[in-house]
Structure 1
Amino acid sequence: MESHQGEVQAGAGISVKAVELVVALCLLAGAIVVIWSNYSIGAGWVPDGPEAGYFPMRVGIIVLVCSVLVGVQALHAGGKTVFATWQQLRQVGVILVPLTVYVGLIGLLGIYVASSVFMVGFMVWVGKSGWLKAALIGVGINVLLFWIFEIQFRVPLPKGPLEAALGY
């Protein structure tokens, strides 16, 4: 439901203010880590020039200041503008959740098996394809990619137990 000004009705999703505050907090946390770690390795100026953490620490300080400014600006913003509706966020989740699982599986199963699982699952779940068609395409493409990268170009990609069992 949209108002006459083109804004989505409040409560229909996550607000711009909430997103800006989350981004500001994430940037603040990252800046603190950068500042702390570079201070630990040396961020000063010595007789022969800057220490290893000199410039990265300054960048961390700039990011920290900017994150505080974004947070303050977000806190003072009075609008109830919606950043994304819950339906839009669900659509993002349809991609983001399987992709996150896929990335996690690469370390366990290797990139080829994980990619096959991802493709088959995505084709069946989102694309509503049949299992056989999805399995043939998912496995076939990854066998082809294995042949191209591992055998032809000799580019080693992350492998799992299946490739190890096959001697790769």
Structure 2
Amino acid sequence: MNTPESPAEAAEHSRAVISFRTAEIIVAIALIVGALIVSWSNYQLGAGWGRYGPEAGYFPMRLAIIVVIASIVVLVHAIRNNDQTPFLEVEQARMVAVILLPLLVFVFAIKYLGIYVASTFFIAAFMYFLGKFIWWKCVLISSCVMLAFFFIFEIQFKVPLPKGPLENWLGF
């Protein structure tokens, strides 16, 4: 049963972390920077018309220029429109952080533990903390899933994925 919120609690839940205007400006600038980097690298690769047709960077550079132009249009629109409607509220940001922060730890753990061990911990942690499973089920299921993935990728498909000290110790 939901209990009624006080006005202070309601304000806390509806407080904006970021507005639509700010989000649009951030995304537009990020896309402009990314597209300029792509343009520059494709220009160095060769973005013109060669003796036998388009060079390797011809089409990617043109697509990057289109992204720059579209992003500038979005940036100008966001600045002129000044939409201060909440894009992300405090409670939504918390829900995103619950997934994003462990995911970042997982990505960095792959380098040191290997993908299989890091994935085992990642799955088990999510099952335990978010799914509220009993600890032994978390260990069992995450280990079985990663053993199956190891068998499929390393043994059957012969696809080498990042390995850590455990796999090296076991001779893989």
Pairing 1:20–2:24 present: yes
How many residues align? The count is: 161
Q: Are residues 1:88 and 2:92 paired?
A: yes
Distance 1:128 1:63 in 2: 44
Q: Is the 8 A contact 1:44 1:51 kept in 2?
A: yes
Counterpart for residue 48 of structure 1: 52
Give the whole-Å Cα distance in 1 for the aligned partners of 2:99 and 2:49. Answer: 47
Per the normalisation by structure 2, the TM-score is 0.81
Deviations along 1:13-40, one digit per CA (max 9) or x if unpaired, are: 3111111011101100011101111122
Runs of 4+ in structure 1 over 6 Å off: none
- Is contact 1:45–1:51 with CA below 8 Å preserved after alignment? yes
Gaps of 5+ in 2: 6-12
**111 and 126 in structure 1: CA distance in 2 versus 1, 3 angstrom threshold:** same
Name the Cα RMSD after superposition: 2.3
Task: Provide the rounded CA distance (Å) in 1 between the counterparts of 2:108 and 2:158.
Answer: 24
- Rounded Cα–Cα distance in structure 2 between residues aligned with 1:142 and 1:120: 11
Corresponding residue for residue 4 of structure 1: none
Q: Percent identity over the alignment?
A: 51
**Structure holding more helix per residue:** 2
Distance in 1 separating the partners of 2:159 and 2:45: 35
Q: The residue matched to 1:84 in structure 2 has which SS?
A: strand
| Distance in 1 separating the partners of 2:60 and 2:146 | 40
Deviation at 1:152, TM superposition (A): 4.3
TM-score (norm. length: structure 1)? 0.83
Residues 10, 81 of structure 1: 8 Å contact kept: no
Paired residue secondary structure (1:142): helix
Shift of 1:103: 1.9
Gaps of 5+ in 1: 2-8
Matches within 5 A, 1:116-155: 116-155=120-159
